Amino acid sequence: MELNKFDLNLLKALDVLLEERNVTRAAQRLFVTQQAASGVLQRLRQHFDDELLTSVGRYLEPTPLAVSLISPVRQALLAAQAALDTRPSFDPRTTEGNCRIAMSDYGLAVVLPRFLRRLSTEAPGIRCTIEPLSQHSFNRLDMGDLDFCLALDEVRIWGTHRPSKFIRLEPMFEDDFVCVVDPRVVDVSQGMPLRVYQQLRHNSVTFGDGVQTLVEEAWSTSKIDIDVAVKAFSFSALLFMLPGTPLIATVQRRLANILAPRLGLVIVESPLELPKVRENLMWHERSDADPVRIYLRRTMEAAVADLYTVAT
């Protein structure tokens, strides 16, 4: 079919219908009546000669053709939006927009405050939406639901949840792991020999099925028995649960430097050889030349540079 014979507004409706899989919710997002949304779905079915969404119990499920359309339809809409957003010049002082970033609580504590300080001064019209880094983040980056991910370069720890070939990355900073305990409960006056490290009860982070932390991987590789007493959703949580307990946490040094003194905890060197933490900033190639995204990448670089010039 020739492009001038197809109503391009139907692409936006198709994108919303495939995401919501519910005509009522899709109608609300499209600001039309439910009857109008049903009519749009019928037009799309006629065009593709496919049901697209079929009733399965109380829900609508996409057909195989609909599943194959999800990514190309979203990419087409994002490309069109990028073209419409193009401006002859860019002034961060007057630009308005939203920067959507996925990062761990570690990145949030270590880098985000420095990034926001610069942004609030240089580009006050740009707002930020921060969400937890998860096994879905790389797909959300692909689909245009995120602008950036700040994530480990060891993406193999994410199992099958890998960045696609369209994802760009830039190394940001490095860190290492240390041990943290409550000195009123755990005696570390003589340091932390491996024997004591093994005897203590640990807490650990879990990011979901198929995702393994660098610490867990090191435990597995070293073939030592570790007694994990508590699993939590973030590295920060590991530290907040330590006061008054005989637990030990193995966390990133910069995070420990921020939180341990405030909680009355002490930091000791890890007796177990652990890999370096290397964080990358990731984005989709479609935003390579976008001046706002370029500015945001440069601002993140400047915030990271502060880690090496300003005391944590």
List, for residues 10-35, the tens digit of each pLDDT value: 888 888 888 888 888 888 878 788 88
Residues 182 and 271 in one domain: yes
Residues 151, 234: Cα–Cα separation, whole Å: 14
Three-class secondary structure of residue 249 per DSSP: strand
pLDDT at residue 210 above 70? no
Report if residue 104 sits inside a domain.
yes
What CATH code is carried by the domain that includes residue 261?
3.40.190.10
Report if residue 59 sits inside a domain.
yes
Domain final residue, candidates 36, 64, 85: 85
pLDDT at residue 256, rounded to an integer: 97
> Under a CB-based contact definition with an 8 Å cutoff, are residues 128 and 299 in contact?
no
Residues 184 and 260 in one domain: yes
Residues 292 and 151 in one domain: yes
Rounded to 5 degrees, φ, ψ at 105 are -65, -25
Residues 259 and 123 in one domain: no
Report if residue 103 sits inside a domain.
yes
> Under a CB-based contact definition with an 8 Å cutoff, are residues 52 and 20 in contact?
no
The widest CA-to-CA distance across the chain, in whole angstroms, is 78
pLDDT at residue 35, rounded to an integer: 87
Residue holding tokens 């899709």?
Answer: 26
Residues 238, 104: Cα–Cα separation, whole Å: 13
Whole-number mean pLDDT of the chain? 87
pTM score, whole prediction: 0.76
Residues 146 and 292 in one domain: yes
Residues 165 and 202 in one domain: no
Residue holding tokens 């409550």?
Answer: 182
Paired tokens of 47: 């065009």
pLDDT at residue 248 above 70? yes
pLDDT at residue 206 above 90? no
Residues 38 and 69 in one domain: yes
Chain centroid to Cα 57, Å, comes to 33
Average of pLDDT values for 282-307? 92
Please state the domain count of the chain: 3
Residue 120, CA distances (Å) to 16, 96, 98, 123, 128 in order: 33, 12, 13, 6, 10
Domain final residue, candidates 85, 113, 144: 85
Residues 218 and 270 in one domain: yes
Q: Which helix (H) or strand (E) holds 247?
A: strand 247-252
pLDDT at residue 312, rounded to an integer: 44
Residue 52, CA distances (Å) to 45, 136, 213 in order: 6, 24, 39
Range(s) of the domain holding residue 244: 177-275
Residues 50 and 27 in one domain: yes
Crossing angle of helices 64-85 and 9-20, rounded to 10°:
130
Q: In terms of residues, how long is the chain?
A: 312
Residues 270 and 186 in one domain: yes
Report if residue 90 sits inside a domain.
no
pLDDT at residue 51 above 60? yes
What CATH code is carried by the domain that includes residue 52?
1.10.10.10
